[in-house]
Amino acid sequence: MKKFWNFKAQDENIGELMLYGDISSSTWWGDEVTPQQFKNDLDELGGISSLNIYINSGGGDVFAGQAIHSMLKRHKAYKTVYIDGLAASIASVIAMAGDKIIMPKNASMMIHNCWTLTTGNKYDLRKMADDMEKIDAGIIATYAEKTGMDESEIVSLMDAETWLTADEAVKMGFADEIEETRQIVASMDGDFLIYGEQRFDIGRYKNKPDIPCEAHTEQTKPPDKGGFLAPDNGGISQPVEDIALDEQREYFGRIKKKLLEV
């Protein structure tokens, strides 16, 4: 099984989790193996009191992201989230599990409505839209809990596919602190947003972020990784693999039960 996460115990009290690239797995909701493996890896950190979470992701599978958020949120450790470049789409939802969220000055966060590709007749499409509204409702509640914003304000931000700078994220409550002393290498290459060594294909989105792209001398990395490697996704974040319509229907119908079980 190819993981899109890496856990590491720094010592008996501090654990680390790195989520770089796509939050994706074709088997996340198809069987019990992948979510159980994530939970097992988290449990193997033992009775840690602090968990540092490093995110540089363009998002991915909404089911995987919601389950990860739920498991992290329930964990008793104090969770510090570092946005090492980008937390977009479902990756921003995962970030909300943090007790403290820290962003370098030129990091970005993006929130939007969930989206998919599907086929079918008018009844299939109406049902899919209804199901997606339920998914969005859960995401809205997660943002509202963290930010304290009115849900109608969050709906407007998601409808507009909003890219937030670190300053904006802190002002709105999506993040807590700006890491003034650290900058990250950021640039645009056509439809690709580049943070450090990670390339994110944002051509699928209707908006593009206004990223400060001046040259920086320091590329942000988790401190003292000690062999703590990012998942190997080739350095390029692409849209996750499409799920067949019949599988989508099953997944949407099972999501609440699954999130309570994992």
User: Does the reported pTM lie above 0.75?
Assistant: yes
Q: What domains are there in the chain, each with its CATH number?
A: 6-256 (3.90.226.10)
Going from the C-alpha of 104 to that of each of 120, 133, 186, 211, the distances in angstroms are 44, 32, 11, 12
pLDDT tens digits along 107-130: 999 999 998 877 889 999 899 899
Q: What is the pLDDT of residue 47?
A: 93
pLDDT digits (tens, 9 = 90+) for 114-170: 988 778 899 998 998 999 999 999 999 999 999 999 999 999 999 999 999 999 999
Four-residue CA torsion sign, 208, 209, 212, 213: negative
Closest CA to 221 of 197, 202, 251, 253: 197
Distance between alpha carbon 156 and the CA centroid of its chain, in Å?
A: 20
Arithmetic mean of pLDDT, 188-209:
81
What DSSP letter does each residue of 85-118 carry, written as one string? EEEETHHHHHHTT-SEEEEETT-EEEE-------
Query: Cα angle at 136 between 149 and 122, to 5 degrees?
Result: 145
pLDDT at 69: 95
